[in-house]
Chain A
Amino acid sequence: MTEPIWRRNATELAGMVADGDVSAREVVDAHLARIDEVNGWLNALVVVDTDGARTAADQIDRGRAAGEPLGPLAGVPFTVKDGLDLAGHPTTYGIAAFADNVAPVDDPTVGRLRAAGAVPIGKSNQPEMAMRLATDNTLFGLTRNPWHPDRTPSGSSGGEASAIASGMAPMGVGTDLGGSVRNPAYACGIAATKTSLGRLPVHGTTPAAAEPLLGRQWMAVAGPMARSVADLAAMMRATVGRHPRDPRTVDVPYDGAGFVRRVAVPTELPGGPIHPDAREAVHRAGEALAAEGWEVVDATPPEMELCYDLWGRLVGEDFPTTLHALDEFMSRDGSHLMRSSIRFWPAGEVAPQVVHVERLRLARQWALFLDEHPVVVLPTWYQPPFAHGDDLADDIGVVRALYDGVFTPITAANLLGLPATQVPVGCNDDGVPLGVQFMADRHREDRTLTAAAVVEAAHPPITPIDPVTH
């Protein structure tokens, strides 16, 4: 074995454990050692379940020795975003008041990964209530981006991305209401899929989180994060489908009907400003697909700026209620995004029924567009990852400009319940990761991941890396 275990992808590790090339215990121990080595600096993991992970690994090894069938991810360590329940560990949401809020059972998606043989090794940091584009909170502090000490890993699943990019875990689960798996995957140079509405079950046992309001119900989903596209697909296969604890979920088969290899690669992108790196990233993806015989069409999906505005309207309806319930537990920095959003999209400024009707109309426009173009490539963000704290500016105009650079390309997938897979496409000349996202019709993660795999083959994964500390 020439390469250290912790550098291996999830599917590689699953194959090695299944073949007996390595034991689950060795895999877990290698990752625990890597956590010891780099987590002190990165502060990505807030719980490391050394004993639990070793016990689970030993059980898998005993099962294998006894000839029992192994799950498809047997022995593969994974991490879980703080805000998702992992049985026996606190779900804190990054808030001190919830520091002892121990989950009695796994979130359904976490439970399915465990049932597939994967081994939870820790929980990862997030901003308070997952409501920032950076990862910092008063309970656990700042999470760093392994690529640069001053740059945010983004958020809200920033702990996941930082841990996976630095080799502490090969895969993890995050959540995404406004890019929260794609944002940090982009900033940290890994892959992640914001799943279609209804694909992966999510249900928190904390009363405050159990009954999401309308915006969250329609737009917030769980999503796999990993360093390779194959790993995302393996996680999807292990976790999709209806679960009685999440009535939104559906049993749409993971593999959909075959599709024409045609991709929309828009040169005209609405809103902005758009950094040249974002255009370069899309260009790289288009070139890679064209080289593999895909028909590349210059077409822009419908009304992206209106999608962004309606996304703002929906969260703007939810946030006052959420803030009312949680404000006393949150720091000023922690509630900055919610307070800013309430200023940008005041509840009632656009009547809710208009938002609901327009959302359905846009969903149809996009579905028809995606019927014609089975995959579309967009920049993940219009702008490069920013420095720690930039999202907390006092000047509301500065905040809005930052949001526009992030949310214009990000939020259509949330508003419309569409899948979006972010993959890195190498770095720029200064060593900053570039990323694109592939979108497709609802429940067609097979399309986004097929396209992502083609581009990944041309622009191989750029992680794991050792943290850059100066």
Chain B
Amino acid sequence: MDELCTKTASQLAALIAAGETSSTEVVEAHLDRIDEVNGHCNAITIVLATEARAAAAAVDTAMAAGEEQGPLAGVPCTVKENLDLAGTPTTQGLPVFAELVAPSDAPVVERIRAAGAIPIGRTNLPELGLRITTDNPLHGLTRNPWHPDRTAGGSSGGEGSAIATGMSPLGLGNDIGGSVRNPAFCCGISSLKPTHGRLPTFSAFEHNQDPGLASQVMRTEGPMARSVADLRLAMEVLHGRDPRDARSVTIPLDGPEFSLRAAVLRTVPNVDCHPSVVAGVDTAAAALADAGWEVVDATPPEMELCHDLWGQLLAVDVANVMEAARAILSPELAALLDTLAEDYSVESTAPTRIVAEVARLGREWGLFFVDYPVLIMPTWTRPQPEHGFDLESRDDTPDLLACITPPNLLGLPSAAVPVGVSDGLPQGVQCVADCWRDDLALFAAGDLEAALGAITPIDPVA
């Protein structure tokens, strides 16, 4: 691997800004890396070689002319295939959308480009982003570089695999049920599910606009990278109001000072966590304690209810779209979604009741965060399962996501960060904070990274 592919996005931006390397060299190194490992990983679906080279040359020319550059000038990035990137299709992993070329960029793509980043490829996802593994009838299976038979996670699994192998230093995904955190955990990288409302969402395609209630209140875009500093830098250029997303708000990233006190969840209520997961949380707790944090064992309020309400709310959306969507989905995904809708079968008036409960839970968790500014808890409750496990049996999936879904339900920021390797597979935790305290989630994740180190990029294990 070229040394440039081992650098973080922030490091690359600094090297380019200092003239120690050119954007062209950086882009070429990443294109070479894609050539080298993407055949195995199948993470990147479209390589934007021509466009990226042109953009890199433009950055280098501007740099030579002494023009002011954005904070990510010349740095390659990748974009999940359900976000609009002008000139490429927004496939959502569906054959029917294979030629659906976006006329314009999604707001987050627009902003990351404005910061100087250069899209170098599109990345794979499951159909409609509605699985926690990454495979689809359009592009096929994405592999986890750590193990050929284990899932890369999903739905932003292409991002996870590409970033973990050095094909890209920085990516854009989204998360309604862990979709930036699941693959970060599986592939051993970092990601942030931001506070709901920090990053604007918009698509030029009408069928992607104005989704149902669950998506409106639980889904957000989010950055993925190998370093926490990159997530922070990405948030600085991505966050804030865009009138095309009426939910988006501009709130300073840095909140008031806080005390270094973390709640640690070592025992998830009514879930048998795998020993390697518990060991990961223990590692994180010890690292924070060494870094000067007061670490307290504490359980946030009513996690099981949060998880259940997440399922109910999602089921409302799924039930509403299934009739129209069935024709364009694979039978496997349709069956999975039917099961979800059945499992949580809810009355049509459920939203009114659920949202009232969410307000109460939001307050309970808000008060919890007054006592403990940061919560450390498992990402997945057991190690990376094999490909396709989610289609074979849904029995285990709810437990697996027990810690993933509360931040979606309540809009909380959650940073996923690796904390080590066990039996050849990454271990990771989430750092969760109160709404709008993305700065705290990232600060704690940064302390963990400083103590425990990054575990990627790696060469894929075949």
Which A residues fall within an 8 A CB radius of B? 198, 203, 210-215, 217, 242, 244-248, 250-253, 256, 317-318, 321, 347-348, 351-353, 356-358, 360-361, 363-364, 366-368, 370-371, 416-417, 441-443
Q: Are B366 and A442 in contact (CB under 8 A)?
A: no
When C-beta atoms are compared, the residue in chain B nearest to A243 turns out to be B366
A212 to B356, CA, bound (A): 6
Contacts of A370 in B (CB 8 A): 243
Q: List CB contacts (< 8 Å) of B119-160 with chain A.
A: none
When C-beta atoms are compared, the residue in chain B nearest to A249 turns out to be B435
Q: Are A353 and B410 in contact (CB under 8 A)?
A: no
Stretch at the interface among B250-258, B260-268, B421-429: B250-258
Central interface residue in B352, B365, B434, B436, by most chain A CB within 10 Å: B352
A363 to B197, CA, bound (A): 14
Contacts of B367 in A (CB 8 A): 244-245
Task: Count B interface residues, CB 8 Å.
Answer: 44
When C-beta atoms are compared, the residue in chain B nearest to A371 turns out to be B243
Q: Are B246 and A416 in contact (CB under 8 A)?
A: yes
**With A353-B316, A364-B243, A364-B244 in contact, is A244–B356 under 8 Å at CB?**
no
When C-beta atoms are compared, the residue in chain A nearest to B250 turns out to be A252
Contacts of B348 in A (CB 8 A): 348, 351-353
A351 to B351, CA, bound (A): 11
A66 to B250, CA, bound (A): 40
Q: List CB contacts (< 8 Å) of B371-411 with chain A.
A: 410-411
A252 to B255, CA, bound (A): 11
Contacts of B370 in A (CB 8 A): 244
A352 to B213, CA, bound (A): 9
Q: Does B212 contact A (CB under 8 A)?
A: yes
Central interface residue in B209, B211, B357, B366, by most chain A CB within 10 Å: B366
A318 to B366, CA, bound (A): 25
Q: Are B366 and A347 in contact (CB under 8 A)?
A: no
Q: Could you pull out 18 A-B pairs where Cβ atoms are within 8 angstroms? A: A213-B356, A215-B352, A242-B435, A244-B370, A247-B365, A247-B410, A248-B359, A251-B251, A252-B250, A318-B352, A348-B349, A352-B213, A352-B349, A356-B351, A360-B246, A360-B247, A364-B246, A371-B243
Additional A-B contacts beyond A244-B367, A370-B243 (9; CB < 8 A): A213-B352, A213-B353, A213-B355, A250-B436, A252-B249, A352-B348, A353-B213, A353-B320, A364-B202
Contacts of A371 in B (CB 8 A): 243
Q: Are A317 and B320 in contact (CB under 8 A)?
A: no
Q: Are B210 and A361 in contact (CB under 8 A)?
A: yes
- How many A-B pairs fall under 8 Å by CB? 118
Q: Does B310 contact A (CB under 8 A)?
A: no
Q: Are B362 and A321 in contact (CB under 8 A)?
A: no
A317 to B365, CA, bound (A): 27
Contacts of A353 in B (CB 8 A): 212-213, 316-317, 320, 348, 351
Q: Contact check: which of A245, A356, A442 meets B246 at CB < 8 Å?
A: A442
Q: List CB contacts (< 8 Å) of B210-249 with chain A.
A: 210-213, 216, 241, 243-247, 249
Shortest 4 CB-CB contacts between residues of A and residues of B = A247-B362, A363-B246, A244-B366, A367-B243
B24 CB → nearest A CB, Å: 36
A195 to B216, CA, bound (A): 22
Q: Contact check: which of B211, B243, B365, B436 meets A441 at CB < 8 Å?
A: B243
Contacts of B274 in A (CB 8 A): none
Q: Are B436 and A251 in contact (CB under 8 A)?
A: yes
Q: Are A250 and B251 in contact (CB under 8 A)?
A: yes
Contacts of A417 in B (CB 8 A): 246
Q: Are B351 and A217 in contact (CB under 8 A)?
A: no
A318 to B353, CA, bound (A): 9
Q: Are B316 and A360 in contact (CB under 8 A)?
A: no
A348 to B357, CA, bound (A): 21
Q: Does B369 contact A (CB under 8 A)?
A: yes
A403 to B245, CA, bound (A): 30
Contacts of B250 in A (CB 8 A): 252, 256, 443
Q: Does B363 contact A (CB under 8 A)?
A: yes
Q: Are A368 and B210 in contact (CB under 8 A)?
A: no
Q: Are B245 and A364 in contact (CB under 8 A)?
A: yes
When C-beta atoms are compared, the residue in chain B nearest to A216 turns out to be B356
Q: Are B351 and A352 in contact (CB under 8 A)?
A: yes
Q: Are B359 and A211 in contact (CB under 8 A)?
A: yes
Contacts of A441 in B (CB 8 A): 241, 243
B441 CB → nearest A CB, Å: 16
B398 CB → nearest A CB, Å: 24
When C-beta atoms are compared, the residue in chain A nearest to B357 turns out to be A211
A364 to B203, CA, bound (A): 12
A212 to B363, CA, bound (A): 12
Q: Contact check: which of A214, A247, A360, A364 meets B356 at CB < 8 Å?
A: A214
Contacts of B351 in A (CB 8 A): 214, 352-353, 356
**With A203-B363, A244-B370, A247-B362 in contact, is A321–B249 under 8 Å at CB?**
no
Central interface residue in A356, A357, A361, A364, by most chain B CB within 10 Å: A356
Contacts of A363 in B (CB 8 A): 246-247
Q: Are B210 and A210 in contact (CB under 8 A)?
A: no
B221 CB → nearest A CB, Å: 16
Central interface residue in A253, A347, A367, by most chain B CB within 10 Å: A367
Contacts of A416 in B (CB 8 A): 246
**With A242-B435, A364-B246 in contact, is A217–B349 under 8 Å at CB?**
no
Q: Mark B51-92, 1 if CB is under 8 A from A, else 0.
A: 000000000000000000000000000000000000000000
**With A217-B356, A351-B348 in contact, is A357–B212 under 8 Å at CB?**
yes
**With A242-B435, A352-B349, A356-B216 in contact, is A250–B363 under 8 Å at CB?**
no
A162 CB → nearest B CB, Å: 32
Contacts of A242 in B (CB 8 A): 435-436
A246 to B360, CA, bound (A): 9
Contacts of A360 in B (CB 8 A): 210-211, 216, 246-247
